[in-house]
Structure formats: structure tokens, C-alpha cells
């Protein structure tokens, strides 16, 4: 079952800014298995989005990626834009947080979806609309013909995000990367979008990478979770292991800051607990563990010695000096 | 959309009336008049002349009479060129000015658009710096400096093109270039910066993530948005071309409206000056209206309203 | 409750710690790191010094005729560095006098446009509602016109006089200024501190002076540095047409006109004034762009 489809080794992402180099991602290694849903969790600025933008060659002009990201035997980071264009949008697709700014404002939805088929499957301009309509209908989007004639700003937020997901599914990709797909949406619409992704996971062989800061979304959808902090992986485990037995103090902090109906994690006043302090400045990283300044269980060596990422029991990997912390 | 056009047309009427009033009052309240040059005129003849052109009446009355005539399509006779009506003079000068202005504007749009887009797509390359330098120079060096230099080079030294006068297409090349250059510079700059901004937007990233070809991304996804600031600039561009044509017509001795205007203003040929102001104000208003409509077509968010 | 207060205090002090440099310090740092902008400042200082000092130190005067050197090209040996015209007048001195007039006109007209535009825009934005609507409609209306025609009518018919050139240019170039100031004023007006001042009964004039003007100053400075060269250009344009500055006074436009009439026989007559004009345009535009980048970094 665990057959890797995407493997990252020693991935680094750095940005040159007027104030110096910013290391958004450092020495990141992970695998994604076929048919799996992998959740990537972290605060904004933890490097979770940049990881996948780098893999698809979508970094901003001042960004560079190092290491390897292997897909079908090729290192994606080495490919020319032209070669990448045969993979992205076809075998690997990505959807973004903000579907309003993420869709071209002056193109009708039908054209924006159709051009994917024209580019990757060689469909003609006349054949593409029918295929688009078929898929949209299958996704149970009401009144599909009318919706495809609309411009992005004429659609509701949830509908836009569903259109964006539809756009990513047209070519039945091997991997779908969803970057904060529900963050900008109302709760009820979030549910619709999650339902759509859930159905996708159940009924197709597509592997999903779900980038989010919302642990609730991860719990409902993912098989495995990777937690990132300040550009590095700090913990990785199967979703149940992580939720019932978080090891890294940062993971525990994240779980404690989640609102629940039956609150047994936060303090007794029923208030949500927050992780004190702020994520470190990526230009000026502390020598030891990046989380040490905010860590409740910090030890002396945490400030000087960065804990290595090591394999623990089962599927778990952890980067923390607190051995077997519970 | 129709309501929008009607509203804009209705707005144009008070604008034109304001223009007429402003320039009319400005001219007629100033001391002196069109007959000052004939200093030796008998007072009675002068009075007769003045009353023939209604110049003896109070300015508000003159203004109302003038507006009444204009509404009937009568721009009046020229005071100085006594054999011509203003409409006749306009119909003589307009073909020259229009052909010059439209060619310069098209050249500016085409060349400025291409240069700006190219520079944006090759940001920080040698070509980009070249375009930016050219564009800065085009803004810094006025057309009345460029025009004589062009004339000297292509007309006198190389003897390739005529230096003055109006005739076949060869007569138009230098004036059109001199008139277009400042606008090429501004449009190239505008296009470059708006294209760079659009290329950084989220939907361009989405388009790349879809695996589309760079050509398709630029033409279909980026260009329609990036061109919007250039479209909005069309109104000021027209005004700029009209302004420039006045001096260009002077330099190349072209029989256009601009020369009539300057001469008319100096001679205090009130009806001629008024006629030209009305015409150009009307042209700019109409162009601005067209620009708004064009904008609506390119930006679907406006079309819906 | 008291623990909550300490938390807030902690938060505020940590926020203050993060903030560090002020907006203006930041802007100044960005501006001084902009090579083009600094070049522009140096260039302008040099041109200004040239314009002010030359008439005092030169052996020649604005309309002094040197019969031994008529229609001479630029030469270091005979003292006419920029050459002479067909009357034997020294171009180096004349260009400096032209610079005085052109720079002065650029500054004066911009000052007029600035006063009108800021007053009009701030008033419209501050009063808001119907009055704002009417005032800005008027601006829209004027915007739609080729305003150079009004300047031409003004200077030809009312009188060819340098003060009319000032007023004429200043009176039509305030429109954009008014729009900028009004837009900024509207957005500042909705800020809490201005609402607080209104509630506290501070007079409208005082609110405009104390709260609105300091906030609109950034965009206005940028626009002013770009308006000065525009107005210098308009004056040159008028003078080129023979409608601006009149002999014996001179300006770059007047000199360019003379130069272009004698381009074949005396190319230096066009070269020097035109180069000075172009360099001045470059300098102001570099400074303007530099200020824009410095004051509004998101616009880069």
C-alpha cells in the first residue's frame, strides 16, 4: 500500500530580500504515498505553502529552491518550465486559498476550465466545453451551464473554490495540492468544500496534500500529518497518533489552542490557551531549537543544540530533546 | 451599460457649456479687441464693425446669442479671415490635424504597448533598461526639441524626407514620429509597471500552476488586465497629442487646426478661437466616453453594473 | 483582571519593541539608498548653483554683445564656453538666466497649483456628501478638457506677461492635486482619531490643519516633485510658441526656440538649453520616483 509517489529530500527554499536572505524552508524531507492524504500543519510563515510552490516551480522571482523533489523518477526542481508544464496542471495540480484573486477576473469560468484540457489533453476549443460541463455536473454544482458562463466575481466564495477544485481535477491528477482551501470561507461552505475533497479521496486514486493551519480540517480528512515550524518539520505521525498522543510541545500547543465542544485540553476556566510569543524571524534564527523561546518545557540545551529529526515508534518522526514526552 | 452611456452623454452637455462660457467670458472681458491692429479706423466704422459682430452688446447677451447660434450648428464667421466661416476653416484644418493625431496615437499605443510588455517580461534585463532609458528620455526631451533634430537629420543631412509642408504620406512621417514619441514613452512606462504588477498577481500563479504556455498566460490572462491603465490613459493621451500638435504643426508648417488656433488667439479672432476650443473639447469628451465604454468591455466587473 | 492588564502591557511593550524605526526614518533610509534619486538631488543642486552664481561671476551679461565673437561655436579659449548667437551674446550666461526663469516658473506655478489643489481637495474631502460631489464633478469636467487652450487664451488675449504665465499654468494644473488630497482626506477622515477630534468639538479648520494635512503630505510631496518639471515643460512650450516669456527676458523655451531656428548653422544654440532642460526633467523625475518608492513601498 505504501508506495511513494512524491519524495522530497533535503528541500530548501530561500528568498533574497533587500534585508538579507530569508530561509523559508530548511532541509525538509518527506514522502507522499499513492492514494494518501497528507496534512501539512503550521502557522503562517512556517514554510508550508512555499514547499509546494517550490516543487511546482511557482516561487516568486527572488526565491530559489535546493534539494530534490522526485516525481515519476524526475527531480521537479531540475526541470525546465516547459517540461514542468507537462506535469503541473495535469499530473500534479494545486488549488489556492483565495479563489477570488486566484482566478483570472476577465475570463469566463468555462474558458478558464477548458484551457486546461486544451493544454494537456489536446482537446479542441469546441470539444473542451462539453468535457468541462460533464465534470462540473458530476461535481453536483447546480445550474452548471449558467455558472460556466459567469466571471469569477459573479460567483459566491464557495462556488469559486469549488470551481477551482474542479479545474484541478479535470485531468484526473495523481496529486492534488490544496493550499488552505477552506481558510477564506464561511463554516457552512467550508463543509461543502471538505465534503468535495472527502469524496475525491474516497472515490479516486488521487493523492492529496492538504496544507492548512486548521487542525480540525486535518482530523476529518488526512491519513498522516506533518507539523512544520519555522521552515522545518518538527513532528510527523498518523493522524490518530498525533491527535491522541502529540509529542512535540508545539503540536501540543496547537492542539490546546483548538476550540472544542467538550473542552478538556485548555485550562479549567474554559478559556482557549494560546502559544505565547511569536514565530522566530527567519533571517535571524536562534542557534538551537527554533521553538525554544516559546516552549513551555524548554531545557538548557534546547537553546544551543538543535534537536535532530529522528524516527520514533511506528510512523512517528520527531525533532525534540524531550525523549518520549507525553 | 446603456444607462451608463446616457448618463455620461448627459454629463457632457454641461461640460461643453462650461467650456464655452469659460473661454467666451475670458476672451471678451479682456481689454482690447480684434480691430486694435487697424488703429487708424474711424470711430464710426469701428462701431459699425463691432455691432456687425455683436461686440457692442454686454458680454452675457453675446454669450447667450453665441450659444444659440452654436446650438443651430453655426459657429459664425471668422473676423480676421473675412471670406471664411469658422466651419469652413475647421473643415480645411481638421483633415490634417486628425490624420496627424490619430496616426501618432496609434503609433504610440502600438509601440508603447509592445515595448512596455517586452520590458516587463524581461525585467532587469538589458532590453528592459534600454526601454526604460528610452522612456525616460521621451518624457524628458520635449517634442519641440525632437522635431527640429529629426528634421535636420532626415530632412537636411540625409535628405530622405521633406522637412515641411503637407502632401503625401512622406510629409507625415516626421511630424507623426515627433508627436508620438512622448506618448510612446509614457505608455511604455505605464504598460511596463502595470504588466509587472499583473504578472505578480495570484491568478497568474494559478495559470502557471495549470501548466499553460507562457504565451497564453501573457496574452489571455495578463494582457487584458495589464492594458486597463493604458486605456484609462487614453483620455489624457488625446489631450497630450492635441497639445503637441499645436507646436508640431508650427514646426513643420502644416495647415492644421493648431496653427489656426494660435494665429486666431493672437489676432483675437474670437469666433475662430471659440470654434476650435469647442471642437477640441468635444473631441476629448467623446474620446473619454469611448474609453469608458472600452473599459467596460475589458473589465467584466464594470459591465455588470 | 489585574493579570489581564499586565498581559496587555506586556503585549504593548513587545509590539513597541517590534515597531522600531518610524515611517519617516524608514522612508529617508530608502530614499538615500536610491542611487538615481540621489543623483537627481545632486544634479538639481548643481543646476541651481549654476543658475544663481553664473551671472555674478561671468564676464558677460544677458544681452551684452561681443562683436569680436559672433556666431562662434563653443570654445574654452575665447571664454564663450557654450558659444555665442548671431548677435554675439554669450550662451553660457543666457542659459543660466534661462535656468533662473524656467526654475522659478516651475516653482511658482507649482506653488499656485499646490495651494489651490490642497485647499480645494481638503475642503471637498472634509465637507463630503453633496458638496464634495459637486466640487469633484467640476474637477472631472475640467479634467476632460485640453487645458493648454485656456492657458493660450489667457496669455495671448489677456496679455503676454510673465505673471499671467504663472497664474495660467498654476490655475489649470491643480486638478490632480485636488483629487489626490481629496482621496487622502476622505480616507483619513474615517480614522478614529479624526472622529474623536470631531466629537471633541475641534473646529474643522483645526482638524484639517492638525490631522489631515500631515497625513496627505506624502503623496502630495511626490506629486509636487513631478509637477514642477511638467510646469517647466509647459512654460518652454509656451515660450517656444512665442507666447510665454518675452525678450529681452529669456527662458529655456525661448532659447530652444532660437536654437531650433538656427539648428543648421549654430547647433549649439539648441544643444545646451535643450540638454539643461532634459537633465532637469531627469533629475525631478528621478527624485519623484525615489520619493514615491520611499514613501509608499507597496507601490513598487
Task: List the pLDDT tens digit at each of the 326 positions of chain A.
Answer: 578 999 999 999 999 987 788 889 999 999 999 989 999 998 887 888 899 999 999 998 889 999 999 999 999 999 999 999 999 999 999 999 888 889 999 999 999 999 999 999 988 999 999 999 998 888 888 899 999 999 999 998 888 988 999 999 999 999 999 998 888 788 888 888 888 888 888 888 899 999 988 888 888 889 999 999 988 999 999 999 888 888 888 988 888 887 766 555 445 556 667 788 888 887 777 788 888 888 888 888 888 888 888 888 777 888 888 865 44
Q: Which residues of B touch A89 (CB under 8 A)?
A: 209-212
In a domain, B170, yes or no: yes
Strand partners, B100: none
Contact A66, A11 (CB under 8 A): yes
How many residue pairs from chains A and B have C-beta atoms closer than 8 A? 80
Task: List the pLDDT tens digit at each of the 305 positions of chain B.
Answer: 677 778 777 878 888 888 888 888 888 777 766 776 655 667 777 777 777 777 777 888 888 888 888 888 888 888 777 788 888 888 888 888 989 999 999 999 999 999 999 999 998 899 999 999 999 898 889 989 998 888 888 887 887 777 777 777 788 889 999 999 999 999 999 999 999 999 999 999 999 999 999 999 999 999 999 999 898 888 888 888 888 998 999 888 888 888 888 888 888 888 888 888 888 888 888 888 888 888 777 777 764 43
CA C83 to CA A292: how far, in whole Å? 75
Is the pLDDT at C193 greater than 80, yes or no?
no
Contact A302, A289 (CB under 8 A): yes
In a domain, B291, yes or no: no
Task: Please name the residue ranges forming H helices in chain B.
Answer: 2-29, 43-52, 59-71, 86-121, 126-140, 143-150, 170-199, 202-209, 214-216, 223-226, 228-251, 257-267, 270-298, 300-304
| C11-17 contacts, C-beta under 8 A, 24 or more apart | none
Q: A92 vs A6, A239, B225, CA distance in Å? A: 10, 24, 27
CB contact under 8 A, B210 and A57: no
Tell me: the pLDDT tens digits for C144-156?
Answer: 677 788 888 877 7
- Reported ipTM: the value is 0.89
Q: What dihedral angle (degrees, nearest 10) is formed by the CA atoms of A120, A124, A125, A129?
A: -80
Q: How far apart are the CA of B206 and the nearest CA of chain A, in angstroms?
A: 6
Q: Which residues of A touch B219 (CB under 8 A)?
A: none
Residue by residue, DSSP assigns C154-168 as: IIIII---HHHHHHH
Helix (H, G, I), strand (E, B) or coil at C106: helix
In a domain, B50, yes or no: no
- Alpha carbons within 13 angstroms on the beta-carbon side of residue A133 total 10
Q: Name the B residues in 251-290 with CB < 8 Å from any C CB.
A: 251, 261-262, 265-266, 268, 273, 276-277, 280-281, 284-285, 288
Q: A7 vs A2, A166, A186, A312, CA distance in Å? A: 12, 25, 34, 20
In a domain, B116, yes or no: yes
CA A16 to CA A19: how far, in whole Å? 8
The DSSP output letter for C74 is P
CB contact under 8 A, B203 and A103: yes
CB contact under 8 A, B265 and C157: yes
Helix (H) or strand (E) holding A22: strand A20-33
Q: Which residues of B touch C154 (CB under 8 A)?
A: 26
CB contact under 8 A, A106 and B299: yes
Preceding omega of C167 cis (within 30 degrees of 0): no
The shortest CB-CB distance from B15 to any of C144, C148, C263 is to C144
In a domain, B158, yes or no: yes
Per-residue pLDDT at C88: 72
CB contact under 8 A, C236 and B142: yes
CB contact under 8 A, B206 and A104: yes
* Closest B-chain CA to C158: B30
Cell triple for residue B277? 476650443
* Closest C-chain CA to B200: C300
CATH number at residue B133: 1.10.3720.10
Residue C23 — pLDDT band, cuts 50, 70, 90? low
Per-residue pLDDT at C1: 41
* Closest B-chain CA to C168: B26
In a domain, B225, yes or no: yes
Residue by residue, DSSP assigns B155-167 as: IIIS--S-SS---
CA C149 to CA B261: how far, in whole Å? 9
Q: How many residues does this entry show for chain A?
A: 326
Q: Identify which of C249, C274, C269 has the alpha carbon closest to the alpha carbon of residue C258.
A: C269
CA B210 to chain centre: 43
* Closest C-chain CA to B246: C241
Helix (H) or strand (E) holding C288: helix C268-295
The shortest CB-CB distance from C145 to any of B19, B142, B266 is to B19
Dihedral class, residue B52 (left if φ above 0, else alpha if ψ from -120 to 50, else beta)? alpha
CB contact under 8 A, C256 and B243: no
pTM more than 0.90: no
Contact A310, A323 (CB under 8 A): no
The DSSP output letter for A279 is P
Tell me: the pLDDT tens digits for C113-139?
Answer: 999 998 898 888 878 888 988 888 888
Q: Are strands A92-95 and A20-33 parallel, antiparallel or unpaired?
A: unpaired
CA A90 to CA A136: how far, in whole Å? 17
Number of domain units in chain B: 1
In a domain, B215, yes or no: yes
Dihedral class, residue A156 (left if φ above 0, else alpha if ψ from -120 to 50, else beta)? beta
CB contact under 8 A, C153 and B251: no
Which residues lie below 8 Å from residue A19, measured CB to CB, with a gap of 6+? A283
Residue C299 — pLDDT band, cuts 50, 70, 90? very low
Helix (H) or strand (E) holding A233: strand A232-238
The shortest CB-CB distance from B243 to any of C140, C146, C264 is to C146
Which residues lie below 8 Å from residue A244, measured CB to CB, with a gap of 6+? none
Q: Which residues of A touch B217 (CB under 8 A)?
A: none
CB contact under 8 A, B26 and C263: no
User: Largest Cα–Cα distance in chain A?
Assistant: 68
- Alpha carbons within 13 angstroms on the beta-carbon side of residue A198 total 11
A116/B contact by beta carbon, under 8 A: yes
Contact C253, C241 (CB under 8 A): no
Contact A123, A170 (CB under 8 A): no
Per-residue pLDDT at B304: 40
Tell me: the pLDDT tens digits for C236-256?
Answer: 998 888 888 887 888 899 899
Per-residue pLDDT at A194: 87
Cell triple for residue A151? 466571471
Phi and psi at A235, nearest 5°, equal -155, 145
Cell triple for residue A191? 463543509
CA B257 to CA A263: how far, in whole Å? 82
Strand partners, B77: B85
Cell triple for residue A238? 498518523
CA-based torsion, C53, C54, C60, C63: positive or negative: negative
* Cα distance from N-terminal residue to C-terminal residue, chain B: 7
Cell triple for residue C278? 532634459
CA C26 to CA C23: how far, in whole Å? 5
Contact C82, C255 (CB under 8 A): no
Which residues lie below 8 Å from residue B107, measured CB to CB, with a gap of 6+? B176, B177, B180, B184
Is the pLDDT at C16 greater than 60, yes or no?
no
Q: What angle do CA A183, A185, A191 make, to 5 degrees?
A: 95
Contact C214, C255 (CB under 8 A): no
Contact C283, C47 (CB under 8 A): yes
CA-based torsion, A171, A174, A180, A182: positive or negative: positive
CB contact under 8 A, A96 and B205: yes
Order of strands, edge to edge, in the sheet holding A4-17? A20-33, A4-17, A63-71, A74-75
CA A234 to CA A228: how far, in whole Å? 6
Q: Which residues of C touch B145 (CB under 8 A)?
A: 256, 260, 270, 274, 277-278
The shortest CB-CB distance from B211 to any of A53, A88, A104 is to A88
Q: Which residues of B touch C279 (CB under 8 A)?
A: 140
CB neighbour burial string for B17-35, b if at least 16 within 10 angstroms, e if fewer: ebbbebbbeebbeeeebbb
Tell me: the pLDDT tens digits for C200-217?
Answer: 888 877 877 777 777 778
- Alpha carbons within 13 angstroms on the beta-carbon side of residue C250 total 24
Q: Which residues of B touch C264 (CB under 8 A)?
A: 152, 156
Q: Which residues of B touch A102 (CB under 8 A)?
A: 202-203, 205-206
Q: Which residues of B touch A57 (CB under 8 A)?
A: 208
Per-residue pLDDT at B205: 94
CA A145 to CA A123: how far, in whole Å? 19
Q: What angle do CA A262, A268, A269 make, to 5 degrees?
A: 95
Per-residue pLDDT at A29: 93
Which residues lie below 8 Å from residue A222, measured CB to CB, with a gap of 6+? A37, A38, A39, A210, A239
The DSSP output letter for A273 is P
The DSSP output letter for B163 is S
Mutate to test the interface with B, among C135, C144, C155, C167 (most CBs of B within 10 A): C144
- Structural domain span for residue B158: 93-268
In a domain, B84, yes or no: no
Q: Which residues of C touch B19 (CB under 8 A)?
A: 145
C76 vs C265, residue with greater confidence: C265
Query: Using CB atoms, which chains have 3+ pairs under 8 A with B?
Result: A, C
* Closest B-chain CA to C270: B145
Which residues lie below 8 Å from residue C235, measured CB to CB, with a gap of 6+? C102, C105, C106, C109, C165, C169, C244, C245, C251, C253
Amino acid at each position: 500500500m505504501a508506495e511513494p509517489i512524491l519524495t522530497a529530500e533535503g528541500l530548501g527554499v530561500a528568498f533574497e530580500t533587500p534585508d538579507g536572505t530569508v530561509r523559508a524552508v530548511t532541509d525538509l524531507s518527506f514522502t507522499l504515498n499513492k492514494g494518501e492524504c497528507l496534512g501539512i500543519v503550521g502557522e503562517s510563515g512556517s514554510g508550508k505553502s512555499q514547499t509546494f510552490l517550490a516543487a511546482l516551480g511557482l516561487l516568486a522571482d527572488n526565491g530559489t529552491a535546493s534539494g530534490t523533489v522526485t516525481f515519476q523518477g524526475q527531480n521537479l526542481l531540475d526541470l525546465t518550465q516547459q517540461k514542468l508544464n507537462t506535469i503541473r496542471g495535469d499530473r500534479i495540480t494545486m488549488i489556492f486559498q483565495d479563489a477570488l484573486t486566484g482566478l483570472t477576473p476577465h475570463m469566463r469560468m468555462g474558458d478558464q476550465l477548458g484551457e486546461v484540457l486544451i493544454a494537456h489533453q489536446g482537446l479542441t476549443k469546441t470539444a473542451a466545453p462539453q468535457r468541462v460541463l460533464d465534470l462540473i455536473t458530476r461535481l453536483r454544482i447546480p445550474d452548471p451551464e449558467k455558472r460556466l458562463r459567469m466571471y469569477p466575481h459573479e460567483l459566491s466564495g464557495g462556488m469559486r473554490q469549488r470551481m477551482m477544485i474542479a479545474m484541478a481535477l479535470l485531468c484526473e491528477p495523481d496529486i492534488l495540492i490544496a493550499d488552505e482551501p477552506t481558510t477564506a470561507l464561511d463554516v457552512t461552505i467550508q463543509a461543502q468544500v471538505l465534503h468535495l475533497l472527502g469524496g475525491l479521496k474516497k472515490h479516486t486514486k488521487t493523492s492529496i496534500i492538504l496544507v492548512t493551519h486548521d487542525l480540525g480540517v486535518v482530523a476529518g480528512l488526512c491519513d498522516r500529518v506533518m507539523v512544520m515550524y519555522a521552515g522545518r518539520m518538527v513532528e510527523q505521525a498518523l493522524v490518530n497518533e498525533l491527535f491522541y498522543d502529540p509529542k512535540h510541545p508545539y503540536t501540543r500547543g496547537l492542539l490546546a489552542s483548538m476550540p472544542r465542544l467538550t473542552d478538556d485540553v485548555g485550562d479549567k476556566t474554559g478559556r482557549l490557551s494560546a502559544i505565547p510569543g511569536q514565530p522566530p524571524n527567519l533571517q535571524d534564527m536562534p542557534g538551537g531549537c527554533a521553538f525554544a523561546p516559546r516552549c513551555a518545557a524548554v531545557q538548557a540545551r534546547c537553546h544551543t543544540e538543535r534537536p535532530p529529526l529522528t524516527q520514533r515508534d511506528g510512523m512517528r518522526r520527531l525533532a525534540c530533546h524531550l525523549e518520549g514526552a507525553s | 451599460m446603456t444607462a451608463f452611456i446616457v448618463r455620461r452623454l448627459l454629463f457632457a452637455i454641461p461640460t461643453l457649456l462650461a467650456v464655452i462660457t469659460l473661454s467666451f467670458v475670458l476672451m471678451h472681458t479682456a481689454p482690447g479687441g480684434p480691430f486694435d491692429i487697424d488703429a487708424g479706423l474711424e470711430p464710426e466704422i469701428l462701431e459699425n464693425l463691432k455691432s456687425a459682430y455683436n461686440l457692442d452688446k454686454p458680454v452675457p447677451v453675446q454669450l447667450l446669442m453665441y450659444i444659440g447660434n452654436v446650438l443651430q450648428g453655426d459657429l459664425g464667421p471668422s473676423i480676421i479671415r473675412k471670406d471664411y466661416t469658422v466651419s469652413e476653416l475647421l473643415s480645411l484644418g481638421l483633415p490634417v490635424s486628425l490624420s496627424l493625431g490619430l496616426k501618432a496615437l496609434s503609433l504610440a499605443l502600438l509601440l508603447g504597448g509592445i515595448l512596455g510588455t517586452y520590458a516587463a517580461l524581461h525585467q532587469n534585463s538589458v532590453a528592459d533598461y534600454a526601454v526604460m532609458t528610452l522612456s525616460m528620455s521621451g518624457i524628458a526631451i520635449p517634442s519641440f526639441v525632437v522635431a527640429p533634430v529629426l528634421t535636420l537629420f532626415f530632412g537636411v543631412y540625409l535628405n530622405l524626407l521633406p522637412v515641411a509642408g503637407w502632401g503625401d504620406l512622406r510629409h507625415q512621417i516626421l511630424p507623426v514620429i515627433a508627436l508620438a514619441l512622448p506618448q510612446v514613452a509614457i505608455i511604455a512606462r505605464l504598460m511596463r509597471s502595470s504588466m509587472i504588477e499583473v504578472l505578480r498577481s495570484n491568478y497568474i500563479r494559478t495559470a502557471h500552476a495549470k501548466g499553460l504556455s507562457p504565451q497564453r498566460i501573457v496574452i489571455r490572462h495578463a494582457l487584458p488586465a495589464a492594458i486597463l491603465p493604458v486605456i484609462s490613459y487614453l483620455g489624457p493621451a488625446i489631450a497630450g497629442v492635441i497639445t503637441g500638435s499645436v507646436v508640431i504643426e508650427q514646426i513643420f508648417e502644416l495647415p492644421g487646426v493648431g496653427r489656426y488656433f494660435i494665429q486666431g488667439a493672437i489676432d483675437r479672432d474670437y469666433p475662430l478661437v471659440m470654434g476650435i476650443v469647442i471642437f477640441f473639447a468635444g473631441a476629448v469628451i467623446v474620446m473619454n466616453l469611448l474609453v469608458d465604454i472600452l473599459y467596460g468591455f475589458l473589465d467584466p466587473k464594470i459591465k455588470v453594473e | 483582571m489585574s493579570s489581564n492588564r499586565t498581559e496587555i502591557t506586556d503585549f504593548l511593550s513587545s509590539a513597541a519593541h517590534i515597531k522600531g524605526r518610524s515611517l519617516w526614518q524608514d522612508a529617508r533610509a530608502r530614499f538615500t539608498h536610491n542611487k538615481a534619486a540621489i543623483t537627481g538631488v545632486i544634479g538639481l543642486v548643481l543646476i541651481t548653483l549654476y543658475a544663481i552664481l553664473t551671472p555674478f561671476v561671468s564676464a558677460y551679461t544677458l544681452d551684452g554683445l561681443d562683436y569680436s565673437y559672433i556666431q562662434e561655436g563653443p570654445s574654452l579659449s575665447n571664454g564663450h564656453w557654450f558659444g555665442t548667437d548671431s548677435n554675439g551674446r554669450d550662451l553660457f550666461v543666457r542659459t543660466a538666466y534661462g535656468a533662473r526663469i524656467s526654475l522659478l516658473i516651475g516653482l511658482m506655478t507649482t506653488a499656485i497649483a499646490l495651494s489651490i489643489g490642497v485647499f480645494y481637495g481638503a475642503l471637498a474631502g472634509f465637507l463630503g456628501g453633496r458638496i464634495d460631489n459637486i466640487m469633484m464633478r467640476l474637477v472631472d469636467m475640467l479634467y476632460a478638457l485640453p487645458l493648454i487652450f485656456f492657458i493660450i487664451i489667457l496669455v495671448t488675449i489677456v496679455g503676454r506677461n510673465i505673471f499671467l504665465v504663472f497664474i495660467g499654468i498654476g490655475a489649470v494644473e491643480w486638478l490632480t492635486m485636488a483629487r489626490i488630497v481629496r482621496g487622502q482626506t476622505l480616507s483619513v477622515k474615517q480614522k478614529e482619531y479624526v472622529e474623536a477630534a470631531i466629537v471633541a468639538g475641534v473646529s474643522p479648520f483645526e482638524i484639517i490643519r492638525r490631522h489631515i494635512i500631515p497625513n496627505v503630505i506624502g503623496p502630495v510631496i511626490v506629486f509636487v516633485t513631478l509637477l514642477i518639471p511638467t510646469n517647466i515643460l509647459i512654460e518652454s512650450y509656451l515660450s517656444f510658441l512665442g507666447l510665454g516669456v518675452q525678450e529681452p527676458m529669456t527662458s529655456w523655451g525661448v532659447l530652444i526656440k532660437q536654437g531650433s531656428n538656427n539648428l543648421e548653422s549654430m547647433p549649439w544654440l539648441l544643444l545646451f538649453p535643450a540638454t539643461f532642460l532634459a537633465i532637469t526633467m531627469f533629475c525631478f523625475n528621478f527624485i519623484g520616483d525615489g520619493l514615491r518608492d520611499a514613501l509608499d513601498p507597496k507601490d513598487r
